[in-house]
Amino acid sequence: MGITSRNDWLRALGGLLLPDGCSGCGRATEHPPFCRRCLPAAAPPVPTTPPRPLAAWVAEVAYTGAWKEWIHRFKYPGAGLMSLDPAADAVVLALVRAAARRVPDGFNPDLVVPVPLHRKRRRVRGFDQAALLARAVAREVGARACLNALERCRDTPQQIGLSRRERRRNLRGAFVARRSMEPCIWLVDDVATTGATLSEAARALRRAGSRRVVGVCVAHTPPGGTDEAFETPVLSS
């Protein structure tokens, strides 16, 4: 669960600088990162029927509106000191911890694993957002995290704009487990659209011995929505 890059250290430093007030207006609040007035509208959780072979999946909010803005800030920070955005980090990490609390009873995790970036993309970006989220989930539920349990062995093209079938084809064979897996794994990512990425990663975990894999995400793209980013990011998980 250690910090593995310079940008990871910067993000950790940003967490120490996090203000006690609301991330929206700066006013004091008993329930950071938002006061009641600035809390973005809640959204229904991800549909209950997960794509195979996931045993269950959860997400806290829909990938729209203000939530999309916060996730975009978290996922695509500037370089160096510009990567310090403690408000965005606080919002997104609070959301993934809340998502972890949505997991149905009976799925206690033996291990928490992030959906990894390919090493080329991680080198360019400087950090792996799913690893940060997995650490937060593990701490929330008192479980162990293994950040390198999965490897993304193919640098797949971006998923943005692809159909469900195209996403499955694009990701086929993209992940491999680097060790034997425990029976129940929580698989963590930022945004789920069709669930194709989670499904393919879950297959790799199942091949390595896991019997149940639960997807835990910050947000999901609602039916009829779009997973396109605001600008045109170079990278995508």
Pick the more confident residue, 47 or 86: 86
pLDDT at 50 exceeding the cut of 80: yes
Separation between Cα atoms, residue 44 and residue 38, nearest integer Å: 18
* pLDDT score recorded for residue 163: 57
pLDDT tens for 143-188 read 999 999 999 876 665 655 555 565 556 566 678 999 999 999 999 9
CATH 2.60.40.1260 fits 6-220, yes or no: no
pLDDT level of residue 44 (50, 70, 90 thresholds): low
pLDDT tens for 200-230 read 999 999 999 999 999 999 999 887 665 543 3
The closest of 115, 185, 189, 203 to 152, measured between CA atoms, is 115
pLDDT at 129 exceeding the cut of 70: yes
Separation between Cα atoms, residue 15 and residue 36, nearest integer Å: 22
* pLDDT score recorded for residue 133: 96
Indicate the residue type of 197: T
Q: What is the mean pLDDT of residues 108-124?
A: 87
pLDDT level of residue 103 (50, 70, 90 thresholds): very high
- Domain boundaries along the sequence of the chain: 6-220
The closest of 236, 149, 145, 136 to 196, measured between CA atoms, is 236
Poorest-pLDDT segment among 30-34, 80-84, 232-236: 232-236
pLDDT level of residue 22 (50, 70, 90 thresholds): confident
Q: pTM for this one?
A: 0.78
Structure-block tokens of residue 67: 């939530």
Residues forming beta bridges with residue 185, ordered by sequence position: 111, 213
pLDDT level of residue 236 (50, 70, 90 thresholds): very low
CA dihedral 216→191→203→46, nearest 10 degrees, is 60
pLDDT tens for 4-16 read 544 554 444 444 4
